[in-house]
Amino acid sequence: MKGPDFHDGVNKGVAPVTYGTGDRPPRGDYSRARSDYTCAQDFAQYTEADHATYRRLYERQLQQLPGLACEEFINAVQQLGTPERIPRFDDISERLMRATGWQIVGVPGLIPEEAFFALLAERRFPVTDWIRRPEEFDYVVEPDIFHDLFGHVPLLFNPVFADYMQAYGAGGMKASRLDACELLARLYWYTVEFGLIRTPQGLRAYGAGILSSAGELRYSVTSPEPQRVGFDLQRLMRSRYRIDTFQASYFVIDSFQQLFDATAPDFTPVYAQVRERIAREGEIEAGHVLAGERLYAAAGA
């Protein structure tokens, strides 16, 4: 989410987007996109091999969920429809609309921050419409349809989490004006993508980056290695994160309501305080623990 740079392509649509500084050409066909970066799901593009990739990813992930994913996720995952084939976005949107008023919309790949925030604020979740190649089965650099659907969509069926996502989008539009997107992106990273939740049965995952990962799901919940810190908004916004390996730190919430309530106040003074604190004491490295900080033990370890 940091520093999208735009590469003007020779297409009629919108400029494709890559994140970071690499020269890697962006994946996805941005000539299909409308000005809000959404596009129709190109269902005809899927080959039998693509459907098979989806099914294998889905099955591998599904059997890992018990004891590792939160109940809200497990109960909603069937809303994605049959794991046999890549689902139609319209079918999922219909169910989602009835449950929480959300829709999913196709996008050709990564989209600029501001377009992303605007969609969330309208309760429209962008889902990449292409799937990884077979040789990328275990690791794909950019989010594909499996990450976006399997990882993100089930919790959009939860009313509190659904409201949090919309609030995040609106907050993103404000953060753009306040030049605070980097701090806000940390909140997305450590909650929506890599969040853990405390439940009566023990720690569980609710973050999409974890839930769509073959290896990190078990690691995040049960490994003694990473640090698991209680959710604290300002502490979180001071914390750096890793994009190339399993996380060294996770933040643990008590409930989606706690997350919603803790992020409801105006962030304008929060950003100012966090910046001041960073100026004085620096950022907190991933995996670093502060003196006196209470940590959560791995589940079932």
Shortest Å, Cβ 157 to Fe ion:
17
Nearer to ligand PHE, 32 or 152 (CB): 152
Contact between 26 and ligand PHE (CB under 6 A)? Answer: no
Q: Tell me the C-alpha distance between 224 and 159, whole Å.
A: 32
Nearer to ligand PHE, 77 or 187 (CB): 187
CB–CB of 149/83 below 8 Å? Answer: no
Q: Which residues pair with 105 in a beta bridge?
A: 126
Residue number with the smallest Cβ distance to Fe ion: 208
Contact between 121 and ligand PHE (CB under 6 A)? Answer: no
Residue 177: both structure tokens together: 């004006």
Residues known to be catalytic: 147, 152, 193, 212
CB–CB of 128/144 below 8 Å? Answer: yes
Residue number with the smallest Cβ distance to ligand PHE: 171
* DSSP string for residues in 199-228: ETTEEEE--HHHHT-TTHHHHHHH-SSSEE
Residue 167: both structure tokens together: 């609030």
Q: Is the CA virtual torsion 229, 175, 110, 121 positive or negative? A: positive
Shortest Å, Cβ 120 to ligand PHE:
10
Residue 300: both structure tokens together: 């079932």
Contact between 206 and ligand PHE (CB under 6 A)? Answer: no
Which among Fe ion, ligand PHE, none contacts residue 171 (Cβ within 5 to 8 A by kind)?
Answer: ligand PHE
User: Residue 151 — φ and ψ, nearest 5°?
Assistant: -75, -45
Q: Tell me the C-alpha distance between 128 and 298, whole Å.
A: 33
Helix, strand, or coil (residue 171)? helix
- Where in 176-205 is the site for ligand PHE (CB under 6 A)? 187
From 267, 274, 284, 299, residue interacting with ligand PHE (rule: CB under 6 A): 267
Shortest Å, Cβ 241 to ligand PHE:
16
Q: Which stretch binds ligand PHE (CB under 6 A): 74-82, 134-142, 164-172, 216-224?
A: 164-172
Shortest Å, Cβ 92 to Fe ion:
16
Which among Fe ion, ligand PHE, none contacts residue 48 (Cβ within 5 to 8 A by kind)?
Answer: none
From 55, 174, 240, 275, residue interacting with ligand PHE (rule: CB under 6 A): 174
**DSSP H or E segment with residue 126:** strand 124-128
Contact between 168 and ligand PHE (CB under 6 A)? Answer: yes
For ligand PHE, the binding residues (CB under 6 A) are 164, 167-168, 171, 174, 187, 263-267
